[in-house]
Structure 1
Amino acid sequence: MPAHLRVSSRHRTPGPARTPLTDASANARATATLAGRRVGTVVATSGVAVSLTAVPASAAQPAESSAGILDLNALAGARALASAAPSAVAPVTATWSFDVPGATAVLPPLPPPVVEEAAARPDGPAARSSRRTEPTEPQELTAVGAPVPQSANGSAVVAVASGLVGVPYVYGGTTPSGFDCSGFTSHVYAQVGITIPRTSTAQRDAGTVVPRDQAQPGDLIWSPGHIAIYAGDNLQVDAPVPGKTVQIREIWQSAPLFVRIG
């Protein structure tokens, strides 16, 4: 048979069987051999270093478990040290307190009171206030009654009316304590025995209207909203308005009616 057609009958001797466990052991041995020194591992819970010894390949250990040995004795010692270490436990209800020295506040003295100059002046606020509180003197009242005008020619109505001069005006008044215009005229006529209505319009209608040049003292003088007694010589006696008193004055109405009663 030609040489290039011969097949070699030699075969490679099969090696040992490989498994994941054998591969892991081989890797561990290689790592330990390269390191050749001790590696320290820190245990966080106790602070004690526990040693992990890398075993060389020549050590008398089985091939499958020669990767490394954990020092269990050192770990037990670390646990013992952690258990024996002093510890402080605070209860849930614990509170913190601080000693604070006492402090006293000292205020500066108050300044003396300031007296306003205006209060001392005669025209200052204090002086004006004192003047307001002083009792005022009573005002002099107008004397009731007045001389009968000479132009009255002895008219009894004008004489009674003149005797009531000075009585204050009072709305709705019909007595010498106070009169309104028609209350005054009705009261005066009543004093001479003549009864006339209460209101000014009714009094106008109760008599006879006469021309002004024929009017006589004692006649009524009517104008819208007001009534008076004629005293002769362009004079009249009446109770004017609130704030005034019965008075004798000139006829001021522009076109009054003269009314004669009886």
Structure 2
Amino acid sequence: MEIIQTCDEMAMACRVAARPLGLVPTMGALHAGHLSLTTQARCDNAILAVSIFVNPTQFGASEDFSSYPRSMERDLALLEEQGADLVFAPPPEEVYPAGFDTWIEPGAVAEGQEGEVRPGHFRGVATVVAKLFTIVRPDRAYFGQKDGQQVAVIRRMARDLNLGVDVVTMPTVREPDGLALSSRNAYLKPHERQAAPVIYRALCAAEQLWRSGEQDAGALRSAALAVLRSELLVESVDYVRVVDAETMVGVDAIGEQAAMVAVAARVGGVRLIDNVVLV
């Protein structure tokens, strides 16, 4: 396993690598969700490349960039076990050198949900992923469905800009009680951790109502909100949205096109997101 810290060295290593090449972009603090991506990428490709980079440009001024979980030594050990060939772990100044002033501005797919609550977030995500795609030139890139809107933004960007990358979406990996795996789960105190699966229960309530024949998006949203409001440790709900799973535009009713029910809520002081796709 080769660990690389500069853009030029990573680009060169990828240019001479066997093909196909699969990329798994991460911010580190790896868990079983990340490893489901690397496992699939390892199976699909001759070369497995993984990036570990806590991207400062996708964090707002009041968000947790400085305290975001970091565990580089452990992450590298896990990736070696996974059979990773290349690990790109650059410092921030390598990705954003002095004078950096070019950004990817995603369109309507990034406007609602996380884009509304976290202004500038998807500009940072799209820009760093575009840079990774340009440096690595992967044949395939792997992302988890938990960040459903992020996947939609990246898929749209790859298509609109003809980046030549097959964006592969993998199912959300969950704890036995339904909590979606996330690096931020480490922030949860024990009593908050016990309460956190309420987010998945809320999504399941909406999904079960849909499976029973309900197509009205407002009814699905109300069902999810009722579950969230039943838990005292849910301090706030940023949104419960029912949207087209590709465009992220809100829908009034579930039709033939796949829809996504998405939730962002704070359990104690920890902000968690999750979603289910209705297909």
Range into which the TM-score falls when normalised by the shorter chain: under 0.3
Greater Rg by CA: 1
Q: Which has the higher helix share?
A: 2
Identify the structure with the greater strand proportion: 2
Higher relative contact order (CA 8 A, sep 6+): 2
TM-score by length of 1: 0.18
Q: TM-score, structure 2 length as denominator? A: 0.17
